[in-house]
Amino acid sequence: MGVEDRKLEVLRAIVEDFIATNEPVGSKALVDRHNLGVSSATIRNDMATLEEEGLIAQPHTSAGRVPTDAGYRMFVDRLTEVKPLSGAEKRAIATFLDGAVDLDDVLHRAVRALAQLTRNVAVVQYPALSRSRVRHFELVSISTTRLMLVLITDTGRVEQRVVDLPAPVKDGDVFELRSTLNARLRDRPLSEAPEIVGDLPAQVSPELRGMLATLTSVLLEVLIEPSSDRIVLGGTANLSHQTLDFPAMRPVMEALEEQVVLLRLLDQSMTSSKVLVRIGNETQHEGLVGASVVTTGYELHGAKVGAVGVLGPRRMDYAHTMGRVAAVARYVGDLLEER
């Protein structure tokens, strides 16, 4: 084994021991626990080099060392494989998710499963409307001047709005408006909808154009989705077991409440084919400098439409967590495909 390879083995051993024990790791412990094939003095030299390179650090006056953000990053980048799920874990995910009745149920069950499997905070993003297609529009008469507009997407999202009309509407007019919306928009990506709806009033009889203009203005409001509706969070109680890992818990809780922070981290997974790991400062949020975030996208018809992830301490079992995040993402995608 060359010097560089051995040095990386020493780093790997330090990270794994620190994850397991939450105690600074000394050279004697490395010799005792790991078959590195060299003397304690050689390991001390390797640790000195790792410290000079900023990959490990000495906390306080302890004789041991702990990984830095850069050390964790190198460890994650050098992971050759994530830990496969056990049979019990596969059965647990299936049990959690297989009875789900709709999209909301799928995502809430997925977040509970992921939080339980990783003992961290789990987050699941709703399928982005911009990445969904129209499956069906429904119009329901509430009164002569009020309709319920219901949009159903191929990802299972259901958006509904009450529309107050400028004039009374007949049942036959409701049928014509519904038919026009479905004829022009069904199976079209919602990202194309704003351009399409601009041409819709010309598709109906002149007396219905005012009503259709009102409907399309409400539809455009639906397409501008508020971020607060886009994620499901679970497992925040797991943070209470990790006070040693998060000396300042309040900034972490505040970051979780700022959903735009989590959405930004999840959105980054929509453009990557990998499980993404952001460590400490890589989260680009001061409240999460003591945390790591592991995310990946889930797919429908071969395209990423949303993402799932886990937030926990930097001292997390990365190989284990990455495997579980990827597995839950696959299950969510498979369930959406079946619907």
Give tens-digit pLDDT for 87-114: 999 898 888 888 888 899 999 999 999 9
DSSP string, 128-150: PGGG-BEEEEEEEEEETTEEEEE
Domain 3-77 has CATH 2.40.30.60: no
Residue 81: CB partners within 8 Å, gap ≥ 6? 319
Task: Report which secondary-structure segment, H or E, holds 310.
Answer: strand 303-313
Residue 221 corresponds to which tokens in the numbers above?
């409001």
CA nearest to 298, candidates 131, 133, 49, 183:
131
Which residue spans of the chain are classified as CATH 3.30.390.10?
A: 130-223
Per-residue pLDDT of the chain (339 residues), as tens digits, is 566 788 888 999 999 999 988 889 988 888 888 888 788 888 889 999 999 999 999 887 767 899 999 999 999 998 877 788 889 998 988 888 888 888 999 999 999 999 999 999 999 999 988 888 999 999 999 998 899 999 999 988 888 899 998 889 888 989 988 998 899 999 999 888 888 887 888 778 888 888 888 888 888 888 776 555 589 999 888 887 776 666 677 888 888 888 888 888 998 888 888 899 999 999 998 888 889 999 999 998 888 999 999 999 999 999 999 999 999 999 999 988 887
SS3 category, 124: strand
Phi-psi region of 144 (alpha: psi -120 to 50; beta: other; left: phi over 0): alpha
Assign a CATH topology to domain 130-223.
Enolase-like; domain 1 (3.30.390)
In angstroms, the CA 3 to CA 118 distance is 35
327 close to 85: Cβ distance less than 8 angstroms? yes
For the chain, the 3-state helix, strand and coil shares in percent, each to the nearest 5, are 55, 20, 25
Our CA dihedral for 332, 236, 291, 267, rounded to 10 degrees, sits at 40
CA nearest to 235, candidates 140, 338, 113, 145:
113
In angstroms, the CA 207 to CA 168 distance is 11
Query: Helices 87-97 and 318-338 meet at what angle, rounded to 10?
Result: 40
In angstroms, the CA 269 to CA 295 distance is 6
137 close to 182: Cβ distance less than 8 angstroms? yes
CATH homologous superfamily for the domain 87-128+228-338: GAF domain (3.30.450.40)
118 close to 105: Cβ distance less than 8 angstroms? no
Which residue spans of the chain are classified as CATH 1.10.10.10?
A: 3-77
Which residue spans of the chain are classified as CATH 3.30.450.40?
A: 87-128+228-338
What DSSP character marks residue 189? B
Q: CA separation (Å) from 154 to 128, 301, 338? A: 11, 10, 11
